[in-house]
Amino acid sequence: MINVKSFYDENTNTLTYVVYSLGSKDAIVIDSVLDFDQASGKITDFSLQKVIQFLQTNDLKLHYILETHVHADHLTGAQVLKKYYPQAKIAISKKINIVQQTFKDIFHLDEKFPTDGSQFDKLISDNENFFAGVISIKALPTPGHTPACLSFFIDDCLFTGDALFMPDFGTGRCDFPAGSATELYHSVHFGLYQLPDKTRVFVGHDYQPGGRELKFETTIGESKKNNKQLKQETSKDEFINFRTQRDSVLATPKLLYPSIQFNMNAGIMPKPEVNGKIFFKLPISMKLT
């Protein structure tokens, strides 16, 4: 029997989950968040402290710090969590190498930047089953939003990251480099929608459409019936057409460039320059009228 505790970061609409067993005290954290004020360049851990406090208050043993994918809208708190729980392993999909290779080129990073995922403690294979003490975790491949997206299936709970959102919001965008609407359709239609209808789904973001209250839990059955972008009966062509059109008018996420650089390096700060200061890179283009 597992328990799920959610934490919502209002600045980035991100859900962080602590999944834990009260009996054995085993725990994992999924998709942690650091606060980043881009204007001043300041990174703080105000939000993450709530997660740490929860772990400490309940005397939980943190085994894994899991990432559903390389996020493009917030900085991961993985390394900060690891300072408090040095035995915890930071884990992400083995396919992180595709993301690292893609963005190493885009950011023109140092030749030495590793693109084999070695910054992470554990690389997870598709459909791998692994244990956090008594907690059994199955990693389901759900590429599309990024090529290295995983959903984590634990007991009757599924943590979908950005593959599937609440039914009134839909699915994750597929227009980032190496993203694919076709792959996302396959991941959901032939993957997640094959799970039992009663499977509890915990989403990676909630954008509170129409100003409604925060919601982050649904079911596979509910999503198959009511997901506004991808229902059970939605055809592949319908979805791809919709997704491609929608993505073409979406704005670039505010924290895209800092997030990718930081998160694909497992949340390790970039190396200081010779003056001791640390920088994120920002690719610039100019389009004149």
Minimum CB distance to Fe ion smaller for 71 or for 82: 71
Query: Whole-angstrom Cα distance, residue 164 to residue 237?
Result: 18
CB 121 within 8 A of CB 130: no
Of 67 and 162, CB closest to Fe ion: 162
> Is the alpha carbon torsion for 48, 150, 253, 170 positive or negative?
negative
**For Fe ion, the closer CB: 26 or 162:** 162
Q: How far is CA 6 from the centre of its chain?
A: 14
Residue 105 structure tokens: 């080129």
CB of 41 to Fe ion, least distance (A): 22
Closer to Fe ion by Cβ: residue 52 or 143: 143
CB of 173 to Fe ion, least distance (A): 8
The binding site for Fe ion (CB under 5 A) comprises 71, 162
Shortest Cβ distance from residue 14 to Fe ion (Å)?
9
Hey, what's the torsion of the CAs at 80, 81, 84, 85, to 10 degrees?
Answer: -140
Helix (H) / strand (E) element for 101: namely helix 96-107
Q: Which is nearer to Fe ion, 21 or 160 (CB)?
A: 160
Orientation of helix 96-107 relative to helix 256-263, angle to 10°: 130
C-beta of 69: minimal distance to Fe ion in Å?
6
151/201 Cα distance (integer angstroms) = 10
